[in-house]
Chain A
Amino acid sequence: MHLHKYEKIWLIFGIMALIIFLSVVGVSAFHQGHTPSGGHMKIDPDKVSETAPFDQPGVYEKEDGTYEVIMVGKAFGYDPGKVQVPAGKEILFTVTSSDVVHSFSVVGTNVNMMVVPGEINHKKHTFQEPGTYLVICNEYCGSGHHFMSTEIEVVEQ
């Protein structure tokens, strides 16, 4: 098959760019640990309120000084409603849904998690700046979808 010289140059340039892009993404993901939210634990979506840790959702300080926020999404809100966490500390968000698919998305951050019934999703994040952060559901969940929001209060430690 005949390839024009300029086309060869163009394709080599494109493929090199591709390799560089993918290397950057790959190194950032697997060497520096910047992977999108995920998790492999399952839960009975009908028994969320009876299953640990979602039987007692809330904010917990762990032994190593980091925090875990355990949160349940349900039409059309979050449980617990408003939470308070410290600035500068690593927060592990642990979320699931007790009904349909939602999201847990903190505006202005990279916390943008799908909340899927039957699955438990995790994401680590450190808030550097204190303030009030808006949390919204950005996956359609029903007639009240656009009312589904809450806030996270990030306070100076």
Chain B
Amino acid sequence: MIVGQIAKGERKLALANLGFAYAAFLIGTLCGLLQVFIRNDALTLPGWLDYYQVLTAHGLLLAIVFTTFFIFAFFQAGMSRTLGSFGRKVLLWNWIGFIVTSLGTLLVVIMVIGGQASVLYTFYAPLQAHGLFYVGLALFVIGTWIQGFALIGHYRAWRKQHKGEFSPLFAFMTVATLIMWIIACLGVVAAVLFQFIPWAFGWVDGINVELSRSLFWYFGHPLVYFWLLPAYMAWYVIVPKILGTKVFSDSLARLSFVLFILFSIPVGFHHQLTEPGIASFWKFLQTVLTFMVIIPSLMTAFSMFATFELRGRELGGKGLFGWFRKLPWKDVRFTSIFIAMAFFIPGGAGGIINASFQMNEVIHNTLWVVGHFHITVGTPVAMTFFGLTFWLIPYLTGRRFTKALQKLAFIQIISWSVGMLLMSTAQHVLGLMGAPRRTAYTGYAHDDALAWFDGVLSNHVTMAVGGSILFLSASLLIYIVIQLWWIAPKADVHQAESFPIASSDVSATPRFLENWKLWIGIAFVLIAVAYTIPLSDLIQHAPPGSGRFQTW
């Protein structure tokens, strides 16, 4: 076996997750292409398919399925790489988790295609999908829990054998992300098991709508950090290795992940700022907590640019910005991730605007929000994942990421950037002009609405141009994936792709950072402070429940 190569069992497992992820990616991006044309009244769907089905599929397949399956592939490969081969039980439970997650996904997709669940990925009650849609959602989450606990089991076994040592940074960050995910999912699991399923199958008549929304958003915001943290892992642990250096500061990296566990969960109300049923005080308190994640975000930004500058100077960069030119721009594994980071600067700033309490009214549920998540999950996260794909798939399949494929990869990331820049800028501007999100062709007969088809950037057509470029880019990526998976030449020992893991100096890292009981305890205290009173208020002063509606 090649040095640094992981065992066959884990390779198969990670590839299974990746295969699922990219199948979802292909269908999801195709749905996106259809949407921009429909919104311009340039395409009419056949009778058996409607816009909101396509929109539901786009959101679910890209934001939930692609991300989650990719993340688990990355975790499984990385945990095996950094902690050693999985035991038989760890491998088995990972497979069981993968199968349960896949079954849940298939059930959800079947319901959506069958027209039984055009409820979008937020599935707000009292829109009522088929009961099996919610069963599928529950299976999906349970499957991720099984995989998550299997990985945590692998970590615990490693720690037992390495008493008194710090875990490798990659493993630490994986565990932190999984802890956050498991705690976050409690909200959506409670809503689905105790509210949606009994109501959708007709066992109870009414549903407490505002409670279900609050439980959803208790999960919905940490969900975005579940996408983001694996990207941060790539930035902290993979990128320095590609640059040929080590992690800037081990303790800062660990501290920032711990802060994300604490501050990404008790913040869901900032998605519900314009809703009745939650007192202003609680909305404001969660706004304050939301802003706390700015601190680890700033720490991450500092670490990244410190790494770049230090390495650029080592390579001979002179003057204030000379180091910048010394970075390995010709290495697509680096350039893709750098562009991803650059997109996150406006993405993060937009997020601060969205969460700013009364400022939320300006943009809530407008196209601005759509623009926002295309330059957060749609580029910083997705393009980081592309950058990982370029070496992760050949690493797992034993093939070569050839020069020709590297050129294609550059075209792919650049076209994605251009398409996304056009589309998301148009979406942001249109949102400020009041254009709503989640609508089919917006032919409102009013001057304000007609203006949404004027202008250069403030135009639905610009959005469609961007969307079309994005689809071409997505197709190119699929081509690269297929090449790396089945067609590219096999690598010999010298050419084999490696799984880059930067070394991280733990000599100055304080012990308490790896004390999970402490962090989980504080996380639950914060959650209790932010949620106990407003949620019990929603339960105690509940209006009569809402019935079942299928308005699509």
Enumerate chain A interface residues (CB-CB to B < 8 A). Answer: 1-4, 6-7, 10-11, 14-15, 18, 21-22, 25-26, 28-30, 34-46, 75-76, 99-101, 103, 105, 107-108, 110-114, 116-122, 132, 134, 136-146, 149, 151
Contact = CB atoms under 8 A, between A and B. Distances in A.
22 contacts: A3-B252, A4-B249, A6-B302, A6-B306, A7-B302, A11-B299, A21-B352, A22-B291, A25-B356, A29-B280, A36-B273, A37-B276, A40-B276, A40-B279, A76-B551, A101-B213, A114-B276, A117-B209, A118-B542, A119-B543, A138-B365, A140-B439
B17 to A, nearest CB: 30
A140 B302 CA distance: 39
B276 A116 contact: yes
B302 A29 contact: no
A151 B352 CA distance: 32
B358 A1 contact: no
A80 B321 CA distance: 62
Interface in B487-514: 508-510
B99 interface: no
A110 B362 contact: yes
A122 B359 CA distance: 17
Contacts of B360: 36
A25 B287 contact: yes
Given A11-B295, A37-B276, A112-B362, A145 B448 contact: no
Contacts of B284: 25-26, 29-30
Interface stretch (B119-127, B393-401, B421-429): B119-127
Interface in B270-324: 272-280, 283-284, 287-288, 291-292, 294-295, 298-299, 302, 306
Contact of B549 (A99, A132, A137): A99
Contacts of B438: 138-140, 145
Contacts of A116: 209-210, 213, 275-277
Contacts of B118: 143
A40 to B, nearest CB: 7
A127 B392 CA distance: 57
Contacts of B366: 138
Contacts of A144: 551
A121 B251 CA distance: 47
A10 B508 contact: no
B179 interface: no
Contacts of A39: 276-277
A21 B294 CA distance: 12
Contact of B446 (A35, A112, A140, A151): A151
B544 A75 contact: no
Contacts of A40: 276-277, 279, 541
A144 B52 CA distance: 10
B364 interface: yes
Interface of B: 50, 52, 118, 120, 124-127, 208-210, 213, 249, 251-252, 255, 272-280, 283-284, 287-288, 291-292, 294-295, 298-299, 302, 306, 352, 356-362, 364-366, 433-434, 436-444, 446, 448-449, 508-510, 541-547, 549-552
Nearest to A11: B298
Contact of B295 (A14, A111, A136, A141): A14
Contacts of B126: 45, 99-101, 117
Interface centre among A14, A37, A114 (most CB of B within 10 A): A114
The 5 closest A-B pairs by CB, nearest first: A142-B551, A118-B543, A107-B434, A138-B436, A42-B543
B94 to A, nearest CB: 34
Given A43-B543, A101-B209, A145-B440, 6 more contacts: A28-B358, A36-B357, A38-B283, A46-B547, A145-B438, A146-B440
B4 to A, nearest CB: 30
A117 B546 CA distance: 7
Given A1-B255, A114-B276, A142 B127 contact: yes
A2 B552 contact: no
B551 A75 contact: yes
Interface centre among B277, B298, B508, B550 (most CB of A within 10 A): B277
Contacts of A45: 126, 209, 543-544, 546-547
Interface centre among B124, B283, B359, B364 (most CB of A within 10 A): B364
A145 B52 contact: yes
Contacts of A101: 124-127, 209, 213
A3 B251 CA distance: 9
Contact of A2 (B251, B306, B352, B436): B251
Given A44-B544, A140-B52, A140-B438, A25 B358 contact: yes
A3 B252 CA distance: 8
Contacts of A44: 543-544
Nearest to A140: B438
Contacts of A30: 280, 284
Given A44-B543, A142-B552, A1 B275 contact: no
B358 A36 contact: yes
B358 A118 contact: no
A110 to B, nearest CB: 5
Contacts of B306: 4, 6-7
